[in-house]
Amino acid sequence: MSIVTQRPSQGAAPAGVAAGAELTATPVAPAATEPAGDVPLPDPAPGTATLTDTHPTPHTAADARLGLEFPPDFGWGAATSAYQIEGAAKDDGRGESIWDTFSRTPGRTHGGDTGDVAADHYHRYPADLDLMRDLGLRSYRFSIAWPRVQPDGTGAPNQRGLDFYRRLVDGLLERGITPMATLYHWDLPQALQDTGGWENRDTAHRFADYARTVFDTLGAQVPTWLTVNEPKTVVQNGYIIGHHAPGRRDTDAAYMVAHHLQLAHGLAVRQLRDTGSRSRIGPALNLHPCYPADDSVATAEATRLYDGYENRLYLDPIFTGSYPADVLADLGPDSRLARGIRDGDLAAISSPVDLLAVQYYTPIYVTATGGTERRWPTSVAAWQQIFPDGMYDILTRVTRDYGPVPITVTENGLPTPDALAADGTVDDAGRVSFLRDHLAAAHRAIAAGVPLESYHVWSLMDNFEWEQGYAQRWGLIYVDYATQRRVPKRSAHWYRQVIADNAI
Ligand code: FCB
């Protein structure tokens, strides 16, 4: 069976919901009584909105506070990735990536949009850093563009590319924000694609070399590294459906790619250890809780296999050192994955990690025939179903099944049809309720014993949403692409208060 679910199809179905976790309860701080006062803000940079000069519309139920306080030092954060925000596609010696090639190919992205300019963060990062500070962010998750560091994916590093990330990291630290860097958020150097990309085992070794270069430069200043962002999305969207770069449609190749991405992860973990760094490292996995759409035996079996393809295929090798037997059996002994695993690979892939980054957007409801159905309201992203309890279920499940590895949520968010109103505000009340309800689920997971240490909204600002181009807005901060003006949305004001209160 070939399963493709990263952007699940829609429908409607009843479903059983996974049983609640039975974890050791960890006390969570009592509800806040006094909301913190406003923090004084600095003078804005010219042309940059601040978090106080555009006031959101009057509060509605979306902003209602729940009185749930988070543990002290909880890492309130926001996330971005290089290709989605940086622009500056040709600056300072940057090489081409597969997303440059893909987005410039007619018909691949909405409206032919590319990341050539994006949110122009490469040039505007100082003002963006100030906005992060004004939000009160404690953690910022960004990615490093491999083609800025090694334009052709191999060989001597491009110092000007590395310097950008050094300036960014310095700017974060100066503002009291902890950097969390992803090594690979899908922008493979095109030159490596030309020699087979992730189908070629050698790409995993090239990735390890690149990772070493980055660790040698920034390793001491970045306390937390993430290796490969969402290998599953590369497998499913890049190699099965083909609507992400490199746009292939070859299921057998896709699972070979899955293995090489995981090998790349493991080799990078070893590189970090080899530097003697005390920084932490882990994978960034998008996990989808899978629920049976009815209570038949056939549906339970289909759901279990579906879960194998969605979750265990990526969790088991890292945390147990083996691929899930049901998925391997389903792919068959002649699959490229089965034939491509070499001695020592799983030992490398299961090199101990320090944390697990979880990205949660949607549940999946599985039918007896292995199809999917929709049960909850969707969003502008047709693949998404809004189901906050899925956050609780997936967090408690990974802790139950894989042990008490520290967890960070590195992505969770909602695209909304945001527009700049005449009074200069952006009222994204839907995003506020989404974040509030998912944070409430995260809070419950902490109370149930999940070692969740931080949470990052996807995304800090509107950006290039892959094949959707600029048509979907996921940010706390609105980007007017014509002028590159930033306008904090209602959700940004709300999140700032949440961070100040350490409570929702
Ligand atoms: C995740 C990606 C991220 C963004 C969000 C909406 O799958 O990691 O770059 O596209 O979805």
Q: Is the minimum distance from the CB of 142 to ligand 1 under 6 angstroms?
A: no
Q: Is the pLDDT of residue 51 over 60?
A: no
Can 86 be counted among the known catalytic residues?
A: no
Looking from the CA of residue 229, the nearest atom of ligand 1 is 8
pLDDT in tens, 223-262: 999 999 999 999 999 999 999 999 999 999 999 999 999 9
Range 44-74 burial, b when 16+ CB lie within 10 A, else e:
beeebbbbeebebeeeeebbebeebbbeeeb
Q: Is the minimum distance from the CB of 314 to ligand 1 under 6 angstroms?
A: no
Among residues 199, 230, 310, 467, the one annotated as catalytic is 230
Q: Average pLDDT for residues 454-481, to the nearest whole number?
A: 98
The residue whose two tokens read 């006062």 is: 37
C-alpha to C-alpha distance for 326 and 309, rounded to whole angstroms:
9
pLDDT in tens, 147-188: 999 999 999 999 999 999 999 999 999 999 999 999 999 999
From 83, 113, 230, the mutation candidate for ligand 1 (largest count of ligand atoms within 8 A of CB) is 230
Which among 369, 357, 401, 236 has a CA at the least distance from the CA of 293? 369
Which among 474, 470, 497, 434 has a CA at the least distance from the CA of 120? 470
Beta strands 356-359; 290-292: pairing state: unpaired
Q: Separation of 237 CA from ligand 1 center, angstroms?
A: 12
Helix (H) or strand (E) holding 229: strand 224-229
Q: Separation of 6 CA from ligand 1 center, angstroms?
A: 11
In this structure, the number of other CB atoms found within 10 A of the CB of residue 34 comes to: 6
Q: What is the pLDDT of residue 176?
A: 98
Rounded to two decimals, the pTM is 0.90
Q: Is 84 annotated as a binding residue?
A: yes
Q: Does residue 217 contact residue 150 with C-beta atoms inside 8 Å? A: no
| Residue partners of 394: CB distance under 8 A and separation at least 6 | 287, 288, 289, 358, 360
Q: Is the minimum distance from the CB of 230 to ligand 1 under 6 angstroms?
A: yes
At residue 37 the predicted structure's pLDDT band, cuts being 50, 70 and 90, is very low
pLDDT in tens, 343-372: 999 999 999 999 999 999 999 999 999 999
Q: Separation of 31 CA from ligand 1 center, angstroms?
A: 32
- Which residue(s) pair with 357 in the sheet? 284, 408
**Structural domains of the chain, ranges and CATH numbers in brackets:** 61-501 (3.20.20.80)
- Ligand 1, atom 4, lies closest to the CA of 465
- Ligand 1, atom 10, lies closest to the CA of 465
